[in-house]
Structure 1
Amino acid sequence: MPEPVEHEKRALRAEMRERRQMLSDAQRQAAAEGIARQLDALVAEHGATSIACYLSTTIEPSTRPFLNAAVARGLRVLLPVTREDGLLDWAVATPDGEEIEGAYGVPEPIGEVLGPIAVNDVDLLVIPAAAIDEEGWRLGWGRGYYDKTLGSMEHSPPVYAVIYDSELVERVPREVHDQPVTGIVTPTRTRAFPRPRR
């Protein structure tokens, strides 16, 4: 990885992490409710019956109210399970789903594990991000799981990253392996991007 890009990415991730840690409980709760509304509308817009999402950490915009409601109404939801080789396995979310702390302190579901190709069958992919830029390029948390997943999919469904409103930035540093997203979901809006130029 080129040194300047690595430093830029690290600095931006640290800034976003710090901003997230400063949010109050009330701000987090309001954001979770907004995210749930936006994701519900996105699922309806795409007519999705099967999606991939993730269990949010305590500092991420919460996906949990959305996930609980989606599973309760019969949506098939795949949740990621990290592997040592840098790929993601998947497990189907259940109403009473238990979870453990997986690699890097990220919550993961307990249940039957499906292989990496299970995600090829979803209608919509909802992923985490540290920041997204105005062209749809994503800054992740530096582990590469989602870049590998997206880069390996032959026919990717629409991919939306969940971020706070302030995390849509003018530009994120990027490298050849970085993958763009179709759009973003924030507590106040959903936005699709034109297909980015490489």
Structure 2
Amino acid sequence: MRDIDAKRHVRRTHISARATMEPAERHAAARSLRDTLLVVPELEMAGTVAAYASVGTEPETRGLLFALWKRGTYVLLPRLLPDGDLDWASYEGPDSLAPGARGTWEPTEPPRGPAAIASADVVLAPAVAVDRSGTRLGRGGGSYDRALARVGPAILTIAVVYDDELVDSLPAEPHDERVRAVATPTGGLLRLP
């Protein structure tokens, strides 16, 4: 099986599994992830965090975004551009989000440009699955691979997934950007090699 076909299969499998989760299970996972991430030293000290507003059955990030913002962290959220790249704008509380492209929630503040992610002290990235080497499987558009390529090598990049989405290995292609850590509800933060 080619890597691209293998990725599609893994993506479908994990998205289907997410759809079977009970709302209470999702809520508990969101609370656990929020509590775990808020005490990560790099996040506690971060002046700027690039994150994302979760959609659908993704691990919920709204409580985390609000908590980071309330404690004075400057939070950048993505805005999907027509070419599939990501622009970034500031999060100014729950009322600063509006429906965006492809069912996403995007900030309504002025855009700061695709390079704004390079100013982040920590980056939280969505994923459908992550392996123990840091290979991140997203939705398949390549938006986050482009964005993560702009992040310096010393910046902590964290994929946020459910417990069963941390796997031993995933198919990878040359353009895939690895993350440096993964956060799961019961496993907490795992720093990757």
**How far apart, in 2, do the equivalents of 1:155 and 1:133 lie?**
19
Residue 165 of structure 1 is aligned with which of 160, 163, 166?
A: 163
- Write the letter of the residue equivalent to 1:103: A
1:137 aligns with: 135
Aligned partner of residue 40 in structure 2, secondary structure: helix
Residue 38 of structure 1 is aligned with which of 36, 39, 57?
A: 36
Query: How far did residue 153 of structure 1 move?
Result: 3.6
- Show the 5 A alignment for 1:68-79: 68-79=66-77
Q: Which moved more, 1:28-37 or 1:109-118?
A: 109-118
2:191 aligns with: 192
Is the CA contact (8 Å cut-off) linking 2:97 and 2:108 kept in structure 1?
A: yes
CA 1:29–1:91: 2 relative to 1, 3 Å: same
Residue 8 of structure 2 is aligned with which of 7, 10, 13?
A: 10
**How far apart, in 2, do the equivalents of 1:96 and 1:149 lie?**
24
- Write the letter of the residue equivalent to 1:67: L
- Write the letter of the residue equivalent to 1:121: S
Deviations 1:13-70 (A, max 9, x none): 1111111111111101100100101110125566212100000012000011111111
- Write the letter of the residue equivalent to 1:101: P
2:100 aligns with: 102
- Write the letter of the residue equivalent to 1:60: E
**How far apart, in 1, do the equivalents of 2:70 and 2:150 lie?**
31
Show structure 1 runs of 5+ residues with no match: none
Matched, 1:84 2:58: no
The number of equivalent residue pairs is: 192
- Write the letter of the residue equivalent to 1:27: E
Deviations 1:152-185 (A, max 9, x none): 3455611000000100111111100001100101
CA 1:46–1:136: 2 relative to 1, 3 Å: farther
Percent pairwise identity: 36
Is the CA contact (8 Å cut-off) linking 2:43 and 2:122 kept in structure 1?
A: no
1:117 aligns with: 115
CA 1:180–1:95: 2 relative to 1, 3 Å: same
Q: Which moved more, 1:4-13 or 1:148-157?
A: 148-157
Query: How far did residue 6 of structure 1 move?
Result: 1.5
Show structure 2 runs of 5+ residues with no match: none
- TM-score when normalising by structure 2: 0.93
Is the CA contact (8 Å cut-off) linking 1:120 and 1:155 kept in structure 2?
A: no
Query: How far did residue 103 of structure 1 move?
Result: 2.1
- TM-score when normalising by structure 1: 0.91
**How far apart, in 1, do the equivalents of 2:154 and 2:104 lie?**
24
RMSD: 1.6
